Amino acid sequence: MISSTDARYLVLESRQKKTLLQALYNISDNPRWVYLFADSEWQTYLDESPVLLETAQNSEEYRWALMGLEEERLSGLFLESTQGLDAVASWLRARLTVCFDGNRKGLLRLYDPKIWHRLAVKSKPKANIIERALYWHGKPGQQRWVIDENPEPIAMSPMPTLNEQQWLALNDASA
């Protein structure tokens, strides 16, 4: 078991034909992970779901993911939390479906660094679940790690909603 102070959570998608889970099990005998879309209204798309992985910062899985993100074989976010895998999964799942443009709803791929960046994530004074989000971002040759402290990517009340600036920024994205 990973101590809560050492745990890191990675939301990952593969950009290659080899599946993410095949690659993960090639480097780890017993990775601790869940499908992000499991137990959500996106459950029917489980085959296309990103993976939420719990790992330690000094682990093989962490180094593998770090290299995969920098080499752009993987896409995703690093999340830091002391709350545990279930709490992190719930936090992410609560933000997957958003309202926009009145009554329309859709899947928000907030785990994609291009989308996360365009959301212009706000920092809250105190973290409820996620204390820090890190992602690899930038134009080719100019990428760097970006850190958001106590992030809140979208308005959550009364239900997850994109504001007009976020909606326009996402529409302008070529992700």
Q: With contact defined as beta carbons under 8 Å apart, do 110 and 96 qualify?
A: yes
In a domain, 1, yes or no: no
Residue 63, phi-psi category: left (phi > 0), alpha (psi -120 to 50), beta (remainder): alpha
In a domain, 117, yes or no: yes
**What letter does residue 110 receive in the DSSP assignment?**
T
- pLDDT score recorded for residue 165: 87
Q: What is the DSSP string of 121-164?
A: PEEPSS-SS--EEEEEESSTT--EEEEEESEE-SB-SSS-B--H
- pLDDT score recorded for residue 175: 45
Structural domains counted in the chain: 1
Average pLDDT over residues 62-76: 93
Instruction: Tell me how far apart the terminal alpha carbons of the chain are, to the nearest angstrom.
Output: 36
In a domain, 21, yes or no: yes
In a domain, 103, yes or no: yes
- Kindly report, residue by residue over 21-49, the tens digit of the pLDDT: 999 999 998 999 999 999 999 999 998 99
Average pLDDT over residues 71-90: 94
In a domain, 60, yes or no: yes
In a domain, 134, yes or no: yes
- pLDDT score recorded for residue 167: 84
Average pLDDT over residues 62-70: 93
Give percent of the chain above pLDDT 70: 93
Helices (H), the chain: 20-27, 60-70, 85-93, 113-118, 164-172
Domain containing 38: what range?
7-172
Burial of 7 (0-12, 13-18, 19+ CB in 10 A): buried
In a domain, 2, yes or no: no
- Kindly report, residue by residue over 119-168, the tens digit of the pLDDT: 999 998 887 899 999 999 998 889 999 999 999 999 888 788 888 888 88
Mean pLDDT over all residues of the chain?
89
158: cis peptide before it, omega within 30°? Answer: yes
Q: What is the pTM of this model?
A: 0.90
- Mean pLDDT check: name the lowest of 3-7, 20-24, 58-62, 165-169: 3-7
- pLDDT score recorded for residue 145: 95
